[in-house]
Amino acid sequence: MAPAVPPAVLALLALLAPALGCDRPAHRWCSSRDVAAACQVESRCPSLPHPAAAPVELSLYYESLCPACREFLVLKLFPTWLLLPEEMLNITLVPYGNAQERNVSGKLDFQCQHGPEECLGNMMEACLMHEAKNFSTYFPVIFCLEAGSSVTKNLEACLQIYAPEVDSGRISACVQGDTGVALMHHNAQVTEALHPPHQYVPWITVNGKHTDELQAQAEASLLGLVCQLYQGEKPEVCGSRGREVNKKDIFMEKHQDPEWCGRGAGRG
User: Where do the domains of the chain lie?
Assistant: 7-44, 56-262
Note whether 55 and 87 are within 8 A (CB): yes
Nearest CA to 120 out of 42, 174, 199, 193 is that of 174
| pLDDT band with cut points at 50, 70 and 90 for residue 255 | very low
Q: Which of 74, 173, 78, 90 is nearest to 131 (CA)?
A: 173
40 pLDDT more than 60: yes
Calculate mean pLDDT across residues 217-243. 89
Q: What is the largest CA-CA distance in the chain?
A: 83
Q: Give the predicted TM-score (pTM) of the model.
A: 0.77
Q: Looking at residues 210-217, what average pLDDT do you find?
A: 98
CATH number of 56-262: 3.40.30.10
**For position 140, what pLDDT does the model report?**
98
Weakest-pLDDT range from 3-12, 23-32, 111-120: 3-12
Is residue 253's pLDDT more than 80? no
User: Where is pLDDT greater, at 38 or 235?
Assistant: 235
